Amino acid sequence: MVVDDLFKFTSFMVHEEPSIRVNQSTCAGCDHKACTFVCPARCYQWNEERRRIDFAYEQCLECGTCLLICDRGALDWNYPVGGFGVRFRLT
Ligand code: SF4
Ligand code: SF4
């Protein structure tokens, strides 16, 4: 199974407030933008025109990879509040 297939078995309860917040001023000075490569849900995109990270939290898989890879401390990372976020159904 590849990651894209995972979305066939996944649903989301999206809270109006993102549980992960991005410090845009830190990201603007980041020379590798690793989050844009490692996120399996492609939540992070570098917007060259606006010089900022566009972050789409709605399909976050809560894997924690972005928190591990960000060496600048730019992320305020939390799980969604109870009942919200990703729901996996693999069986
Ligand atoms: S979240 Fe971290 S890795 Fe991603 S652009 Fe910002 S500073 Fe860089
Ligand atoms: S926790 Fe995982 S899926 Fe969610 S934004 Fe970070 S890398 Fe992407």
Q: What local confidence, expressed as pLDDT, does residue 89 receive?
A: 81
88 within a domain of the structure (yes/no): no
Q: Report the CATH number at residue 43.
A: 3.30.70.20
- Quick check: CB of 75 below 6 Å from ligand 1? yes
89 within a domain of the structure (yes/no): no
DSSP code per residue over 8-31: GGEEEE--SS-SEEE-HHHHHT-S
Among candidate residues 77, 71, 73, 72, the one with its CA nearest the CA of residue 43: 77
Look at residue 52 and give its three-state secondary structure. Answer: strand
- Can you tell me the mean pLDDT for 75-82? 96
14 within a domain of the structure (yes/no): yes
Domain span at residue 61? 3-83
Q: What local confidence, expressed as pLDDT, does residue 32 receive?
A: 98
73 within a domain of the structure (yes/no): yes
- Quick check: CB of 64 below 6 Å from ligand 2? yes
| Model confidence at 31: pLDDT above 90 | yes
- Can you tell me the mean pLDDT for 10-38? 97
Report how many domains make up the chain. 1
Distance 35 CA to ligand 2 centre (A): 8
47 within a domain of the structure (yes/no): yes
What pTM did the predictor assign? Answer: 0.92
Q: What local confidence, expressed as pLDDT, does residue 91 receive?
A: 62
Task: Identify which has the larger pLDDT, 35 or 91.
Answer: 35
Q: What local confidence, expressed as pLDDT, does residue 4 receive?
A: 79
- Quick check: CB of 63 below 6 Å from ligand 2? yes
